[in-house]
Amino acid sequence: MKNIIVFGAGGHAKAVIDTIEKTGIYQIVGIIDGLKPSGTSFYGYEILGNEQCLVQHEALASSGIVAIGDNWTRAAVVEKIKNILPRFSFITAVHPNASVARGAQIGSGTVIMAGSVIGSDTRISEHCILYANSVAEHDTRIGNYVTLAPGACTGGNVHIGDYSVVSLGAAIIHGKTIGEHTVIGAGSTVLTDIAAYMVAYGTPAKALRARVQGERYL
């Protein structure tokens, strides 16, 4: 098994670690999290320190995944890692109970959790999260740093821009576009395109206010 490092020691990291363990492909050799004391344990794995310790641990592992739920924060950590250790590579973790159809593509740094369904010829870009029982149907295009929460689903040919979030149980009908940095509220039904930098919710979903780049949604 390939040695990897996981970045993050919060609730989301537990779900990512479970997915990694279930794949049987990778061996987690440590956790990077600057908010936890080095040498302590998280979910059975040692906290190695913060991102600055990457260089000294390069011989231990030069691959891994950023297990941070917030899209913008995850992106910032990815950039920090690239600056500290440009040779570091990001894995893709797909739970064995996920369904990935023929022709689907999944970018590096992305995690696909149990029960998720990725349809034929769908493209999931880098550092995305598809939580349990989410669905991205055929020919859908999902940008970088996108989150589909548990139970979120899209019809076919949906486009979702970078850094956007489709919250718990929300549904997007076929052929619609969600702009970048947009949040679709829990339980919403999207029947029309939603512009970038918006918070939209309801059935049918409507854009109710603007949001700014990096604004927290968790």
**Tens digit of each residue's pLDDT (9 = 90 or more) over 176-215:** 999 999 999 999 999 999 999 999 999 999 999 999 999 9
Domain limits, the chain: 2-90, 94-210
CATH topology of 2-90 equal to that of 94-210?
no
The answer to whether the CB of 203 falls within 8 A of the CB of 217 is no
We find that the CATH architecture of domain 2-90 is: 3-Layer(aba) Sandwich (3.40)
The answer to pTM > 0.85 is: yes
- Could you tell me the CA-to-CA distances from 44 to 20, 47, 176 in Å, in that order? 14, 10, 42
Tell me the fold of 94-210.
UDP N-Acetylglucosamine Acyltransferase; domain 1 (2.160.10)
pLDDT at site 58? 86
Q: Is 12 a catalytic residue?
A: no
Confidence tier at 57 by pLDDT (50, 70, 90):
confident
- Of 58, 124, 48, the closest CA to residue 92 belongs to 124
* Neighbour count for residue 76 (Cβ, 10 Å): 14
Instruction: Copy the structure tokens of residue 141.
Output: 């295009």
Confidence tier at 56 by pLDDT (50, 70, 90):
confident
List the alpha helices (DSSP H) in the chain: 11-23, 71-84
Sheet containing 189-190: give its strands across. Answer: 99-100, 117-118, 135-136, 153-154, 171-172, 189-190
12, 95, 127, 138: which one is catalytic? Answer: 138
Is 34 marked as binding a ligand?
no
